[in-house]
Amino acid sequence: MAQSTPKNYRKHIMYSVYLRNHTPEGTFQALRRDLLRIRNLGTDILWLMPIHPIGQKARKGTLGSPYAISDYRQVNPEYGTMEDFKALVKDIHSLGMKCIIDVVYNHTSPDSWLAANHPEWFYHKSDGSFGNHVGDWSDIVDLDYTQAALWDYQIETLKMWATIVDGFRCDVAPLLPIEFWKRARVEVAKVCPDCFWLSESIEPGFIEYLHSQNLIAHSDAEIYEAFDVAYDYDIWGSFRGYLDGKQPLSAYAEAVNRQEAIYPDNYVKLRYLENHDNDRAAQIIPDRRQRRNWTAFLYFQRGMTLLYGGQEMGAAHRPGLFDRDTVQWNTGEDDTDFLTHLAKLKKEHVPTEGSYHVQALPEDVLLASYDCDGKKLVGIFCVGGTVARTDLPDGCYRDLIAGGNVNICSGVADTGGTPVWFFL
């Protein structure tokens, strides 16, 4: 585990922005106008998906994927200039937020600056041509981290950006040598001592496949040696398995509890209902009452909360990566007040220490609890059914979310099907 990772990250809110599609203009300048609203959601860290120029060769769609980068040391001119970017970061900082950018170090576009100037740093197929290890990533070519000079270049690039931003979200980080990330963390700390490191860890099935091909694929336990926060993909399959009717809710609860046992004491997971690679929460959980329960559980969970731009408005359409596809802001829903209140409750009441446990109650209800310093914080979330049958002691408790009372009588909590948080 990154020993310096503070447990206080468990109280943080991260907000993800895809610049091309966040505003009609899709620019750094346009995003500046939305920063105060984003901050008021309780956001601590603003994550910008890749801001670099996109390759022309083998583009997907009309504008290409932001993950097919042509130059790691420049900004995409479609978004603005480097000075525009620095002005954006300055505004982010002035509002008390940190800014992190996407680092896509497994691959580049086929026509990248590195491919033209250092072809020896790339993976080559048997015929000598550039290639990649994952076939459906047709718009990129893989880098070869057996090349020591590549390590130097990439780390110098990170140090350059670390003089501007506060950290990095590292794309498919488990596909790179963990020793590279460990060295990068040490080197970057020389210019940014409190640099924040988020790993897009990968699903167990993908790890197994890559191992079967004799390729690098690090587990989350390994990733935590270099990173502060890791994705929740280790249990994402159980979450989707429940929503898709393929697994019981108890399987998901058991998966969450397992994390408490297998990771270090100061582990921090990035908790989300959606991200740019997966369907929107409003699509996979169309019932708004159930979605509000899942959302309240998201904030209650031990870990850092992620919102993807548009989630606060219940946007059901996931913007495409390869074309102009502006976020659906006018949905008729607005959960801003709800999310802002949950963020406040998370920061004030959810402990960073003590034990954490999740239980699946009968009729598809989740009960989660923290025990810390003699206090017990409980959350009940009707993610499926509406009747919460529990063995909690009968009594009248103050609901932190709605401000009313929660009565438990004869083992039934009168939540009315809405999420509740309360202290026993």
User: Which position has the token pair 């169309």?
Assistant: 286
pLDDT category at 3 given cuts 50, 70, 90 is confident
Is residue 158 predicted with pLDDT exceeding 50? yes
Among 2-6, 13-17, 32-36, 56-60, the range scoring the smallest mean pLDDT is 2-6
Q: pTM of this prediction?
A: 0.97
* The dihedral sign for the CA sequence 29, 33, 38, 40: positive
Q: Rounded to whole angstroms, how far apart are CA atoms 245 and 255? A: 16
DSSP structural state of residue 61: T
* The dihedral sign for the CA sequence 395, 399, 400, 403: negative
What percent of the chain is modeled with pLDDT above 90?
98
Q: Rounded to whole angstroms, how far apart are CA atoms 225 and 291? A: 34
- Using one digit for the tens of pLDDT, what is the confidence trace for 390-406? 999 999 999 999 999 99
Residues near 74 by beta carbon (within 8 Å), at least 6 away in sequence: 52, 53, 82
DSSP calls for 212-278:
HTT-----HHHHTTT-SEE-SHHHHHHHHHHHTTSS-HHHHHHHHHHHHHHS-TT--BEE-S--TTS
pLDDT category at 48 given cuts 50, 70, 90 is very high
pLDDT category at 1 given cuts 50, 70, 90 is very low
How confident is the model at residue 393, as a pLDDT? 96
How confident is the model at residue 162, as a pLDDT? 98
- Using one digit for the tens of pLDDT, what is the confidence trace for 295-342? 999 999 999 999 999 999 999 999 999 999 999 999 999 999 999 999
Is residue 236 predicted with pLDDT exceeding 60? yes
How confident is the model at residue 135, as a pLDDT? 73
When the pLDDT of each residue in the chain is averaged and rounded to a whole number, the result is 97
Task: State mean pLDDT over 358-363.
Answer: 96
How confident is the model at residue 354, as a pLDDT? 96
Neighbours of 292 (CB within 10 A): 22
pLDDT category at 408 given cuts 50, 70, 90 is very high
How confident is the model at residue 2, as a pLDDT? 65
How confident is the model at residue 4, as a pLDDT? 84
- Using one digit for the tens of pLDDT, what is the confidence trace for 83-141? 999 999 999 999 999 999 999 999 999 999 999 999 999 999 999 999 998 877 899 99
